[in-house]
A and B are shown apart, each in its own frame.
Chain A
Amino acid sequence: MEVGQMQRRLAEFTKSMFMEGFLDGQFLQLQQLQDESNPDFVVEVVSLFFQDSEKLLNDLTLALDQQNVDFKRVDAHVHQLKGSSSSIGAQRVKNACVVFRNFCEEQNLEGCMGCLQQVKQEFYLVKNKFDTLFTLEQQIVAAGGSIPAMEITSF
């Protein structure tokens, strides 16, 4: 694939991530923080988010698997996941966390279990999207092209 074609594909793909609600404006903020002195900032932060989230999802699974579920503890984990997802602009994960926290407050175990599945699903969906996005970027750079600046401003 030639560079121009890959660049167009990247632009389309990124746009679709916004259109489908995977990303919100906070992701554009992250991109603004990336410059020559810190060319990998976005990839670094998003990778940290992946690691952090996988650990939290694991903790959540264990916490909800207890005989007597400590809903405060569950809520604390969800709060953390909500915070980091909102910091990178992973909107759908964040929204799923908001619903999750309501069930924590109600101490609704069934609701919490359902939300855990929902959050996991959203997390792996957006993780796959990011993997595709970063792979495309790498391919463009490897082919000697530059990453086109984000043109979406209305999000």
Chain B
Amino acid sequence: MGTAAEPQFHVLAVDDSLVDRKLIERLLKISSYQVTAVDSGSKALEFLGSRGNNGRSSSDPVPSVSPNDHQGVEVNLIITDYCMPGMTGYDLLKKIKESSSLRDIPVVIMSSENVPSRISRCLEEGAEEFILKPVRLSDVNKLRPHMRRTKKLKTHQQEPREDSERHGEIRSQPARQHELEIQQSQHHPSQQVPQHQQQKSSNNNKRKAIDAEEGLSPDRARTRYSGVATF
């Protein structure tokens, strides 16, 4: 536990503006994330399609790419611009939340315009955050808890019976993360997960309870925070 090297979180950034793509890519990299940047929603779906099929059942409709080619290419968060020609960030968000293989991936929307109705629409559709452009380092720091949650979900994903219920919870409370965490930890004792998994999960929750800010074992956290520590 906590001794294995933590792989970097992988963020898929979507923005049609070259300047903004360069900026968000750098912001994420300096915060120790692995980044893939694409210039449209359809390219994002293309990228996710190949990975969405990774290790999935053969009934998955996405055309298959050899699973081994994409092993390790897991997307922990998608950050997308709102205003893009063709598929908007909102369209992309909807497509992701409608897809059974992709909807666990947290989506964050960026926009240069502060339009309250737009913001609430995105949050209702399941976006985790709405960030106003220009994006700053302090905004990127807000992404961390969302990535952590995906990791937790990933663990549970192996337990199919829990899935639908969990998605329901998350979608109805996009912004109330702490409540959700409490709910989940209370949930645990009744879960019929294999022994090793259960241990892992309850440890995770214990850590969260002890130190909600870190949520990871200290050695792991240190590795990931080191990139930011210089500021």
Contacts and interface: CB of A to CB of B under 8 A. Distances in A.
Interface string A63-104: 000000000000010011011101111000000000000000
B112 A86 contact: yes
Interface in A2-43: 26, 29-30, 32-33, 35, 38, 41
A48 B19 contact: yes
A29 B19 contact: no
Contacts of A32: 137, 231
B70 interface: no
Contacts of B137: 29, 32-33
B26 A33 contact: yes
Contacts of A30: 23
A83 B135 CA distance: 11
A130 interface: no
B30 interface: yes
Contact of B26 (A26, A41, A86): A41
B85 A76 contact: yes
Nearest to A85: B19
A91 to B, nearest CB: 11
Most buried by B among A33, A86, A89: A33
A45 interface: yes
B134 A86 contact: yes
B19 A45 contact: yes
A105 interface: no
Interface string B142-157: 0000000000000000
B17 A86 contact: no
A52 interface: yes
Q: Is the interface of A mostly helix, strand, loop or mixed?
A: helix
A44 B18 contact: no
Contacts of B136: 26, 29
B231 A84 contact: no
B133 A33 contact: no
A80 to B, nearest CB: 6
A88 B30 contact: no
Interface string B72-114: 0000000000010100000000000000000000000000100
A38 B133 CA distance: 22
A84 B17 contact: yes
B161 interface: no
B214 interface: no
B20 interface: yes
B37 interface: no
Contacts of A76: 85
Nearest to A79: B83
B26 A87 contact: no
Most buried by A among B23, B26, B230, B231: B23
Given A48-B19, A80-B17, A88-B19, 14 more contacts: A29-B134, A29-B137, A35-B30, A35-B230, A48-B18, A49-B19, A52-B18, A52-B19, A79-B83, A83-B19, A83-B112, A83-B133, A84-B17, A86-B134
22 contacts: A26-B134, A26-B136, A30-B23, A32-B137, A35-B30, A38-B30, A41-B26, A45-B19, A45-B22, A45-B23, A48-B22, A79-B112, A83-B19, A83-B112, A83-B133, A84-B17, A86-B112, A87-B20, A87-B23, A87-B133, A87-B135, A89-B134
